[in-house]
Amino acid sequence: MSKTKKIAVIGFGNIGTGVVERLYQKGVAGLELVKVVDIDLKRKRPVTLPSSYLSTDWRQAVTDPEVNIVVELIGGIEPAKSIQMEALKQGKDVVTANKMLLAKEGESIFRLATTLKRRIGFRASFVGGHSLIHELGQAGTAAKKFKRIYAILNGTCNYILSTMSREGKGFEETLKEAQGKGYAESDPSDDIDGIDTANKIRVLLGLISNSYHTAGAFPVEGIRDITLQDIQYADELGYAVKLVGVIEQKEGVFDVAVHPALVPRVSLLGSLEGAYNGTELEDEFGIISGLVAPGAGAYPTADAIIKDLLDIAEGRTLPMPGLANTITLGSKEAVERRYYLRFSVVDQAGVLAQITNIFWKYNISIAAVIQKESASKEFVPVVVTTYLAKEGDLQAAIAEVDKLDVAKARTRIIRILSADT
């Protein structure tokens, strides 16, 4: 091991406290904590530091010639971006858990790091998949090796959906329970609207395409509209409902999305319970592998940060996207999927025939139908699964179905993901 690296931690919240505790109280060979920065130094924390370690001025830490590595843990865009950029300019390496910043501003940050021959460790932005991130980054030509990646990357959403399924509770009730247990923030929008997963997928896309160029927009849908009824129908069909990040690659073109999906209940992703993350990968030879890990928590995140710090201290290569061509995204309308559709229609003869006629027009074939008696006198739920259909055709067909006089509510659409689709 090279000589001891001196560390400045900027952000003394829950995660920062975990990192400081590991470095200061327990000690890690080759790493020495020398500075901790936070705007609030009066709040009580599990670890107490001498005043000489503490500062409220991040610039002081970043420009300190004694510091070798800056750990940015404040989150958000600014001043986090300024902290990382200035640290790189000062000749320091950077470690961060800030997936939002890397997803939105990663191009300029990674470009600067590459130009200055500095390193950025971001395992901690993928707590439940940091081993995968490291593996992909080491591969270099990962885009040629993976046909698809399906990933559950948000522990809050997985906790909510698996609890709804297991305990038969509605979304709002389960969300409040998740907040009470600390699995969801008081404002859970980033999690349940798919934004957190989308940020992680964007960073992951940069790695597997070996490009730090920011990709264009892709579809992002959260779980607010998932009902217990949908989860129960999915279970009857042999599926679990999960929030999934999708990357599929063919001849250098990437189909990327974040949305709820029906996945086989017996699959790796379908079996995940609680706040766990999981990733299913298929390589160019059709071989499928997977990874499961806890998706959240101060100590798992701190552990990922320590791993990056040790890699830097020991001179190992860190996973970072390179300077490749612009990432090419495919047309979302051309993506082929199977679909779960729940119609709310008048309970009368000929309704399914009307829907089938529209489907025939758009070359959509029905795989299964579930129709049960309804307590409502106004409509009855009819659940249909399809064979493979293009997204554009499916959306056009549903737009026509929803205009029928017999349709009493908008059709619920959930994609179906499995190894054969």
CA angle, 286 then 290 then 292, to 5°: 170
Q: Mapping DSSP to helix (H, G, I), strand (E, B) and coil, where does residue 295 land?
A: coil
Distance CA 86, CA 93 (A): 10
390 an active-site residue? no
Distance CA 366, CA 388 (A): 9
Residues whose CB is less than 8 angstroms from the CB of residue 125 and which lie 6 or more positions away in sequence, other chains included: 96, 97, 98, 99, 102, 200, 203
221, 335 in Cβ contact below 8 A?
Answer: no
User: 10 Å Cβ neighbour count for 368?
Assistant: 12
Rounded to the nearest 5°, which phi and psi values hold at 323? -100, 85
245, 239 in Cβ contact below 8 A?
Answer: no
342, 381 in Cβ contact below 8 A?
Answer: yes
Residues whose CB is less than 8 angstroms from the CB of residue 287 and which lie 6 or more positions away in sequence, other chains included: none
Residue 318, both tokens = 């860190």
CA distances from 152 to 133, 241, 247, 294, 358 (A): 14, 11, 12, 11, 34
* Residue corresponding to tokens 């522990």: 155
Cis peptide before 219 (omega within 30 of 0): no
Distance CA 49, CA 20 (A): 9
Exactly one of 200, 242, 307, 390 is catalytic; which is it? Answer: 200
CA angle, 220 then 83 then 316, to 5°: 85
Residue 135, classified by CB atoms within 10 Å of its CB into exposed (0-12), middle (13-18) or buried (19+), is middle
149, 258 in Cβ contact below 8 A?
Answer: no
3-state helix, strand, coil in the chain (%, to 5): 40, 25, 35
- Bridge partners, residue 260, by sequence: 243
Length of the chain equals 421
Distance CA 388, CA 390 (A): 7
- Which residues belong to the active site? 200
